[in-house]
Amino acid sequence: MSYSTDNIFAKILRAEAPAAKVYEDAKTLAFMDAMPQVPGHTLVIPKYPSEDLFGIPPDDLAATIKSVQLVGRAVRAAFESTGIMIAQLSGREAGQTVFHLHFHILPRHHGLELKFHAREFEDIAVLESHAQKIRDQLARQS
């Protein structure tokens, strides 16, 4: 399968679809997952158009992982979570549903189970308030 520019994350990158953004630099973008599995579920994507983990040049992948660490630290502080889960699904059989490479950042808490993957849309006002908490932490870190 080759990269399709019709995917929703490509549209977010082109500002043709909305997103509760938390971070952006020359090579990466981070925004709230619209169907969060836990409060604070955040996605980090490269701007490079790669369908999955295997189609991206190493430098762009390195920049993406750097952003995962930066944003992950802010998510951890914003949601007072001691456990951060990072997930990356490559391929339909692995559960991938959006075919633009992305890393999930999931703050975990004792006793709080993950909701189903990509199932239920969250209210945009809730996503925006979560994004603001993370942006506040990023501002504090810089």
The answer to the question of residue 95 lying near ligand AMP (CB under 6 A) is yes
Q: State residue 19 phi and psi, 5-degree precision.
A: -160, 150
The answer to the question of residue 118 lying near ligand AMP (CB under 6 A) is yes
**Nearest-10 crossing angle of helices 124-141, 58-78:** 100
Q: How far apart are CA 22 and CA 40, in angstroms?
A: 11
The answer to the question of residue 8 lying near ligand AMP (CB under 6 A) is yes
CB of 110 to ligand AMP, least distance (A): 23
Whether 102 is a known active-site residue: answer yes
Of the ranges 30-38, 49-57, 65-73, 76-84, which one interacts with ligand AMP (CB under 6 A)?
30-38
| Helices and strands: H and E segment counts in the chain | 3, 5
> Given the rule CB under 6 A, which residues bind ligand AMP?
8, 17, 19, 33-35, 89, 95-98, 117-118
